[in-house]
């Protein structure tokens, strides 16, 4: 284990402790922004866990997130099952899905995977609506709990911290080493005797688990769940954009991408409520123009320049 | 890239953003009652909100300010509306509502558009004590929700009332001998569509109807012709579709193409939109749908005229009037209390009755049960034919062809 690795995890731990105090400082508007940011931090970090080293752009976030949110709502609303039981069960359904999707597409090259995940959220939404419509029925999916924004924030923070820790451990494991080789040249990885498909599927399942868990925790915040709100293709894209804005070469990349993105998005929403999409496009152009390698690239370039 | 170049690019970028900012600049008035409004301006629900929600806010604010503002203990105060787009996303909605409460510190907030958004925002309204007079929110959980949130009011009814209206109308037609007892029922396989079909099945059966065709179709499906063909083949007396806006249009279009002859044809959400009548003209004469209004009522007639004059748009034939009435309730309650005290205003709403375009509104257990459930296009106007606690329903007519 290198010194810089310990330094990194120490810094992360310090940030987590600092972040845990946010709800004690503010409980209104800024907390609601913090909850949104923390949701995206957890989602983008989970995304980077798989897509960072493999360079496979996954658009499956909306599908996993939706499974988490939808199952919690169905369980609580239609079957009177407690939130905690559903929170324990739902992510494993996402893991099974990730295994099936992974087994079907990850043995092929990247492009098939991207195309398949693109339609995944929509497909799962169609599937659950079909099941509900034909077998289960519905009286509206309400997730009424006594959680406050602070509770939801802390739960998301814990998820984000655990994802980060797992990512940090994987990076230093045999699996992480294998992923780096796969990312650089899959042919070489195969020749070295790495079971590339198994490695990729395993990592994809971990991503699926935590993405669904975020969906579970967000469900009480939304309170009323409609399939087309939680199985959102838009969410899949936003997560990718934020991760790319931060930079995917490092596990901490998404974190530095999400925070400025959330703030820019909020400023646009507040200042120009009638033209949000236009200004969002404009800021994308400016971002791509000035920081093409994400914030990670920018930070590392500045660091190199200082050394040189 | 040298430093001068970077500077030049940066200043160009800033100039663009700055100019754009100036264009959207709006002046702030001093000493006003600040009213927040969050509803979709983009996303799937934006179309509906642009018909039923936003124009009423515009109309109401203009009328209140034209008469000098709200009459309070310390003189009249104009209202200032602060609007945000929730992008049809509950997370965005919650953020915007929080912003209204804690940053803009608005005195009151206009209830959101859509069932999901009213439920998602209710904890925030409750936390800061804002009264929430929900309109476009139809639920069978009204009892539980009002118990949980003491400032939440409902004005457009429950899912069961909504379905019961259709059962009444069809039972009435059957008693007159206009239709038999065979119903073809379809629904959009999405949240509210599934819920409505679920409630309707036992109610139809209880009322002695036979459901001869019961099918659903996925949300957003472009081809509805198999649905109409299937329903037609079952040879029903009445056709009932628990539909959303796009498929309300799609099913009607297919029924016209297939020349689907039924004595009663019902589609749910968006049948009451002026655009529906505008698109199909006389072909949809005697089509039944969700909602309704009484355009002969002088108050409603006057409201519709003012709405058209101020906003340039026709109101819909359903939730528009209820939305405006909810704003009237808010204004009368604030004036009744005489100050922007949210707790007192909430209590005032519970204790008093209000004179609105929908007639006298009174809340029992935070629920005002006065609304239209079924309407019918009769000679270019969508008239209410069934209501809960409203008089003036027009007699139901039998559908005769698609001419």
- Give B244-260 pLDDT, tens digit per residue: 888 999 999 999 999 99
Statement: residue B7 has pLDDT above 60: no
CB contact under 8 A, A223 and B141: no
Query: pLDDT band at residue B10, thresholds of 50, 70 and 90?
Result: low
Residues 23-52 of B with CB under 8 A from A: 24, 41-42, 44
Tell me the two tokens of residue B124.
């925030």
Taking CB atoms and an 8 Å limit, are B159 and A130 in contact across chains? no
The reported pLDDT for the residue numbered A3 is 66
The answer to ipTM > 0.90 is no
Kindly tell me if the per-residue pLDDT of B27 is higher than 60: no
| Sequence ranges of the domains in chain B | 33-158+297-372, 159-294+373-388
More confident residue, A234 or B256: B256
Say if the Cβ atoms of A134 and B216 lie within 8 Å: yes
Q: How far apart are CA B82 and CA B116, in angstroms?
A: 22
Residues in chain A: 308
Q: Which residues of A touch B90 (CB under 8 A)?
A: 221-224, 229
Is the CB of B219 inside 8 Å of chain A's CB atoms?
A: yes
Chain B residues inside the 8 Å CB shell of A272: 20-21, 24
Percent of chain B residues past pLDDT 90, beyond the cut? 72
Least CB–CB distance from A270: residue in B41, B42, B99: B99
How many CB atoms are closer than 10 A to CB B277? Answer: 20
CA distance A119 to chain B (A): 15
| Cβ–Cβ under 8 Å, residues A262 and B71 | no
Alpha helices, DSSP H only, in A107-148? 110-131
User: What average pLDDT does range B209-219 have in this prediction?
Assistant: 91
Give the span between the Cα atoms of A196 and A101, in whole angstroms: 15
A137·B191 Cβ contact <8 A: no
Please determine, for residue B200, whether its predicted confidence score (pLDDT) is greater than 90. yes
Q: Report whether pLDDT(B39) > 90.
A: yes
- At B4 the pLDDT is 56
B350 burial level (CB within 10 Å; 0-12, 13-18, 19+) = middle
Question: Which position has the token pair 């934020």?
Answer: A242
Q: State yes or no: pLDDT of B25 exceeds 80.
A: no
Contacts of B116 in chain A (CB under 8 A): 222-226, 229
Q: Are A72 and A219 in contact (CB under 8 A)?
A: yes
Give per-residue pLDDT as tens, A121-178: 888 888 887 887 777 766 678 888 888 889 999 999 999 999 999 998 988 888 888 8
Hey, what are B342's tokens? Answer: 């949210």
Question: What's residue B26's pLDDT?
Answer: 41
Asked if pLDDT for residue B20 goes beyond 70, the answer is no
Average pLDDT value over all residues in chain B: 89
- Tokens at residue B81, please? 């509306």
Contact B116 A129 (CB under 8 A): no
Q: Are B376 and B286 in contact (CB under 8 A)?
A: yes
Q: CA-CA distance, B342 to A183, in Å (whole number)?
A: 58
pLDDT at residue B263, as a whole number: 93
Res A213: pLDDT: 95
Which one has a higher pLDDT value, B359 or A306?
Answer: B359
Tokens in use for B97?
A: 């509502």
The residue of chain B with its CA nearest to that of A139 is B195
First to last CA, chain A: 27
Which letter does DSSP use for residue B318 in this model?
A: S
Instruction: Judge whether B33-158+297-372 and B159-294+373-388 match in fold.
Output: yes
User: Can you list the pairs that A86-92 forms with residues at least 24 positions away whose Cβ atoms lie under 8 Å?
Assistant: A86/A216, A87/A213, A87/A216, A87/A217, A90/A212, A90/A213, A90/A215, A90/A216, A91/A208, A91/A209, A91/A210, A91/A212, A91/A213, A91/A216, A92/A209
Q: Of B16, B91, B197, which has the smallest distance from its Cβ to A36's Cβ?
A: B91
Q: List, for residues B126-184, the tens digit of each pLDDT value.
A: 989 999 999 988 888 898 899 999 999 999 989 999 999 999 999 999 999 999 999 99
- Which residue, among A224, A265, A290, would best test binding to B if mutated, counting the most B CBs under 10 Å from its CB? A224
% chain A with pLDDT above 70: 96
pLDDT in tens, A178-222: 888 888 888 888 888 888 888 889 999 999 999 999 999 999 988
pLDDT of residue B29: 42
Strands (E), B40-146: 70-72, 75-77, 79-85, 108-110, 132-134
Residue A252: the pLDDT is 82
pLDDT at residue B375 in the model: 95
Of B9, B87, B191, the CB nearest to A226: B191
- B158 touching A (Cβ < 8 Å): no
Taking an 8 Å cut-off on Cβ atoms, the answer to whether A132 and B194 are in contact is yes
Contact A221 B195 (CB under 8 A): no
d(CA B231, CA B266): 13
Do residues A252 and B18 make contact, with C-beta atoms less than 8 angstroms apart?
no
- Report the top-level CATH class of B33-158+297-372: alpha beta
Which of chain B's residues have a Cβ under 8 Å away from the Cβ of A266? 95
The pair phi, psi for residue B29, each rounded to 5°, is -95, 150
Q: Do A224 and B20 touch (CB under 8 A)?
A: no
Would you place residue B342 in the very low, low, confident or very high pLDDT band (cuts 50, 70, 90)? very high
Q: Which of A138, A148, A222 sits opposite B90 (nearest CB)?
A: A222
* Mean of pLDDT values over B316-330: 95
Token couple for B150: 């003491």
Residue range B268-300, pLDDT digits in tens: 999 999 999 999 999 999 999 999 999 999 999
Cβ-defined contact of B84 to A270 (cutoff 8 Å): yes
Residue B139 contacts A where some CB pair is shorter than 8 Å: yes
Q: Is B14 touching A (CB cutoff 8 A)?
A: no
The per-residue pLDDT for A253 is 84
Question: Per-residue confidence at B22, pLDDT binned at 50, 70, 90?
Answer: very low
Range A52-67 average pLDDT: 88
Homologous superfamily (CATH) of B159-294+373-388 is Response regulator (3.40.50.2300)
Check residue A281 and give its pLDDT: 78
Residue A209 C-alpha, separation from nearest chain B C-alpha, in angstroms: 22
Residue B2 banded pLDDT, cuts 50, 70, 90: low
SS3 B242: strand
pLDDT for the residue numbered B333:
96
Exposed, middle or buried by CB within 10 Å (0-12, 13-18, 19+), for B5?
Answer: exposed
pLDDT surpasses 70 at B14: no
Query: Cα B383–B386–B389 angle (5° rounding)?
Result: 115
Say if the Cβ atoms of B84 and A273 lie within 8 Å: yes
């Amino acid at each position: 284990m290198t010194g810089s690795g310990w330094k990194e995890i120490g810094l992360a731990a310090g940030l987590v402790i600092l972040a845990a105090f946010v709800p004690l400082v503010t409980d209104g508007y800024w907390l609601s922004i913090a909850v949104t940011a923390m949701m995206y931090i957890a989602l983008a970090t989970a995304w980077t866990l798989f897509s960072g080293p493999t360079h496979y752009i996954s658009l499956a976030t909306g599908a996993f997130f939706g499974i988490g949110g939808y199952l919690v709502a169905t369980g609580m609303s239609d079957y009177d099952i407690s939130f905690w039981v559903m929170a324990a069960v739902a992510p494993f359904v996402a893991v099974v899905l990730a295994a099936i999707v992974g087994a079907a597409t990850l043995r092929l090259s990247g492009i098939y995977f991207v195309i398949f995940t693109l339609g995944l959220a929509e497909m799962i939404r169609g599937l659950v609506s079909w099941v509900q419509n034909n077998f289960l029925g519905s009286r509206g999916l309400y997730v009424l709990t006594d959680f406050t924004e602070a509770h939801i924030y802390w739960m998301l923070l814990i998820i984000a911290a655990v994802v980060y820790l797992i990512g940090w451990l994987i990076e230093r494991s045999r699996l992480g080493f294998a992923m780096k080789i796969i990312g650089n040249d899959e042919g070489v990885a195969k020749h070295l005797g790495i079971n590339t498909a198994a490695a990729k599927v395993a990592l994809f399942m971990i991503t699926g688990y935590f993405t669904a868990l975020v969906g579970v925790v967000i469900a009480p915040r939304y309170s009323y769940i409609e399939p087309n709100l939680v199985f959102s293709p838009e969410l899949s894209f936003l997560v990718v954009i934020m991760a790319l804005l931060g930079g995917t070469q490092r596990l901490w990349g998404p974190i530095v991408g999400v925070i400025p993105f959330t703030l820019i998005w909020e400023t646009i929403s507040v200042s120009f409520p009638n033209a949000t999409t236009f200004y969002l496009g404009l800021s994308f152009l400016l971002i791509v123009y000035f920081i093409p390698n994400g914030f990670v690239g920018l930070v590392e370039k500045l660091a190199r320049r200082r050394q040189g | 890239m040298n430093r001068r170049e970077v500077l030049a690019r940066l200043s160009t970028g800033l100039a663009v953003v700055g100019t754009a900012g100036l264009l959207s600049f709006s002046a702030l008035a001093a000493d006003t009652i600040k009213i927040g409004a969050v509803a979709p301006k983009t996303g799937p629900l934006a179309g509906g909100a642009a018909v039923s929600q936003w124009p009423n806010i515009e109309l109401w604010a203009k009328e209140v300010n034209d008469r000098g503002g709200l009459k309070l203990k310390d003189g009249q105060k104009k209202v200032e509306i602060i609007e945000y787009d929730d992008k049809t996303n509950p997370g965005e909605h919650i953020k915007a509502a929080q912003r209204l409460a804690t940053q803009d510190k608005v005195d009151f907030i206009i209830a959101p558009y859509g069932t999901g958004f009213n439920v998602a925002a209710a904890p925030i309204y409750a936390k800061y004590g804002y009264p929430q007079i929900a309109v476009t929110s139809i639920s069978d959980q009204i009892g539980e929700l009002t118990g949980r949130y003491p400032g939440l009011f409902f004005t457009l009814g429950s899912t069961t009332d909504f379905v019961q209206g259709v059962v009444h109308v069809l039972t009435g037609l059957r008693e007159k001998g206009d239709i038999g007892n065979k119903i073809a029922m379809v629904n959009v396989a999405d949240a509210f569509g599934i819920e409505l079909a679920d409630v309707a099945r036992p109610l139809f059966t209880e009322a002695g109807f036979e459901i001869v065709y019961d099918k659903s179709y996925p949300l957003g499906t472009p081809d509805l012709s198999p649905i109409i063909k299937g329903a037609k083949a079952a040879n029903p007396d009445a056709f009932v579709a628990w539909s959303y806006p796009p498929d309300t249009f799609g099913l009607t279009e297919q029924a016209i193409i297939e020349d689907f002859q039924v004595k009663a044809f019902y589609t749910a959400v968006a049948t009451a939109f002026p655009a529906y009548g505008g698109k199909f003209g006389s072909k949809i004469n005697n089509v039944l749908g969700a909602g309704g209004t009484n355009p002969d009522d002088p108050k409603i007639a006057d409201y519709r005229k003012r709405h058209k004059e101020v906003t340039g748009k026709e109101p819909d034939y359903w939730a528009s009037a209820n939305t405006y009435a909810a704003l009237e309730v808010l204004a009368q309650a604030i004036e009744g209390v005489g100050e922007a005290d949210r707790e007192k205003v909430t209590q005032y709403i519970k204790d008093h009755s209000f004179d609105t375009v929908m007639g006298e509104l009174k809340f029992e257990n935070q629920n005002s049960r006065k609304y239209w459930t079924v309407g019918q296009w009769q000679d270019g106007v969508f008239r209410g034919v069934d209501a809960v606690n409203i008089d003036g329903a027009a007699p139901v007519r039998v559908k005769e062809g698609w001419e």
